[in-house]
Chains A and B, each alone.
Chain A
Amino acid sequence: MAGRSSFGWPRIIALTLAALVATVLPLPDWLEILRPDFVALTVLWFCLLSPRMTGLFHAWGAGLALDAFRGVLLGQHALALIVITYVATKLRLQIRAFPPLQQTAVILALLWINEFLLFWIDGVSGHPITDWRRWLAVPAGAACWPLITSLYARVAARR
């Protein structure tokens, strides 16, 4: 499989790790609130726009790593990510054909589902965060989507 596609697992793992690092990199407080969920964006990019290498298992692994990295309930990001990956994979042919703006709107919806699942799990497990500012990361993430796609396409193109 890896032989045919434009890039293999080393690059997938490297990009996923970079996204994990970007998630915990120290930032000033005001910027921290706007920090997009880079892992979700990366997972979505792989399942939408890359040759079909990754899928639910990649999303699940990345989610578990994110849980471990941030020290939250083990499995919550994993669950949220496999749900949006499933939806994105089912709709990938439509989404790929969309113009950029419409694609960004779909990403916004997917990121919102992701955040909502996390919010829900936080509540059920007894650590609710009801601060409205937690939702700011969703539009911030969608705004980053065009950047992420061009950046990752460049990384993928490099031999």
Chain B
Amino acid sequence: MTPHEPDARPLLLGGPAMGLRLIVLAILSLGLMVADHRQNQLAVIRDWLSAVVYPAQWAVQAPIAVWNSARESLASRARIESDNVRLAADNFVLRLKQMRYESLEQENQRLRAASASSSRVVQRTLVAEIVRVDLDPFRQRVLVNKGSLNGVFRGQAALDANGIFGQVTRVGPLSAEVILISDPEHAIPVQVNRTGARTIALGTGSSGQLSLPYLPQNFDVVAGDLLVSSGLGGVYPPGYPVGRITGVGRDPSQPLLAVAAEPLAALDRDPEILLVWFDSTVVEPEPTPAAKPAATPGDAAGGD
């Protein structure tokens, strides 16, 4: 049947009724947008919608996930054996480190108790799988398969095995949206591990790059420096690796340095992430003489 079949309905569509419908629907859309933009007015509807949509989003990636797992289960014996050898070696090294770490942590606890500052270490973690759907090519956000039913909350920090990944921006009952540290609307308070100096790292929109735009010309930073989270703002636990400086552009005619860093977390390759709970009640800027407070314009809480 061609679409050109004759029918008895009027040839000219629209007329005043259609204009009216357009206006009504446009006003409805605008109303929805305003209500949604002013957070929480639509929270219930949002939660409900995400619960409805999530199975569909999950179904989109299910064939790909099945294919991957089938390929995984058919992986060659040789590869599994070599993996096993490598993991055993890794495990050995990690256990050696762990031995030292435990004694260091004990010592750290005692020292912190002595100086009456609370230790903010991660207390609980939850593994969440990333649902492979593309939400928006120009925003660095991912969907994960854990939601408020698992206790996930807005603003929760997410890590992977190598470093800080991002934070939760939206929570549905079964799923949550995580904004990556590389999203252009995200900022994370960091510390240069070598000197202890604090600043802010902004996302650039590309998953391999962060930028540190608020550093003065005389700031002590070189390529290869490790950036760790400073814990200011209370969103991220302090002391976790964020990135490594890849380039420092010193242009004497500019007031500030152009510093680029590379995130340590495998932002575009992770199959799963860790959502963490930690005690963020005490946010005290410790008076360390080495830490010269860098310019911290805007929202130091990071993100959003």
State which of B3, B18, B205 has its C-beta within 8 Å of the C-beta of A56.
B18
C-alpha spacing A134/B31, complex, angstroms: 26
Are A79's CB and B33's CB within 8 A? yes
Interface assignment of A51: CB less than 8 Å from any CB of chain B: yes
Residue-wise, chain B 221-249 has the 8 Å CB interface mask toward A (1 for contact) of: 00000000000000000000000000000
By DSSP majority rule, is chain A's interface helix, strand, loop, or mixed? helix
A20 CB → nearest B CB, Å = 8
Number of interface residues of B (CB under 8 A): 51
Interface assignment of A86: CB less than 8 Å from any CB of chain B: yes
Known: A69-B57, A71-B50, A78-B29. A29 touches B137 (CB 8 A): yes
Are B33's CB and A26's CB within 8 A? no
**Which bucket holds chain A's interface residue count?**
35 or more
Interface assignment of B134: CB less than 8 Å from any CB of chain A: yes
Are A74's CB and B136's CB within 8 A? no
* Interface window among B7-15, B82-90, B194-202, B276-284: B7-15
Are B3's CB and A73's CB within 8 A? no
Number of contacts between A and B (CB, 8 Å)?
134
Which chain B positions have C-beta within 8 A of A157?
A: 1-2
Q: Which of B2-57 contact A (CB under 8 A)?
A: 2-3, 5, 7, 9, 11-14, 18-19, 21-22, 25-26, 28-33, 35-37, 42, 45-46, 49-50, 52-53, 56-57
Interface assignment of B149: CB less than 8 Å from any CB of chain A: no
Which chain A positions have C-beta within 8 A of B64?
A: 26
Interface assignment of B146: CB less than 8 Å from any CB of chain A: no
Are A70's CB and B137's CB within 8 A? no
State which of B3, B22, B33, B133 has its C-beta within 8 Å of the C-beta of A82.
B22
Which chain B positions have C-beta within 8 A of A35?
A: 134, 137
Interface assignment of A101: CB less than 8 Å from any CB of chain B: no
Which chain A positions have C-beta within 8 A of B57?
A: 24, 69
Q: Which of A39-64 contact B (CB under 8 A)?
A: 49-52, 55-57, 60, 63-64
With most chain A CB atoms within 10 A of its CB, the pick from B12, B35, B57 is: B57
Are B32's CB and A24's CB within 8 A? no
Are A4's CB and B7's CB within 8 A? yes
Are B50's CB and A56's CB within 8 A? no
Which chain B positions have C-beta within 8 A of A55?
A: 13, 18, 21
Are B13's CB and A92's CB within 8 A? yes
B298 CB → nearest A CB, Å = 13
Are B135's CB and A51's CB within 8 A? no
Task: Using CB atoms, name the residue of chain A closest to B53.
Answer: A68
B143 CB → nearest A CB, Å = 7
Are B60's CB and A51's CB within 8 A? no
Q: Can you give 10 contacting A-B residue pairs, CB < 8 Å? A: A17-B56, A25-B134, A35-B134, A52-B7, A56-B25, A71-B170, A75-B31, A82-B29, A125-B33, A131-B138
Name A's B-contacting residues (CB within 8 A).
4-7, 17, 20-21, 24-27, 29, 32-33, 35, 49-52, 55-57, 60, 63-65, 68-76, 78-79, 82-83, 86, 89-90, 92-93, 121, 125, 127, 129, 131, 133-134, 153, 156-157
Extra contacts, 17 of them, besides A52-B7, A74-B49, A121-B33 (Cβ < 8 A), are: A24-B60, A27-B134, A49-B3, A57-B25, A68-B49, A68-B52, A75-B29, A78-B32, A82-B22, A82-B26, A83-B26, A86-B22, A93-B11, A129-B138, A131-B205, A133-B138, A157-B2
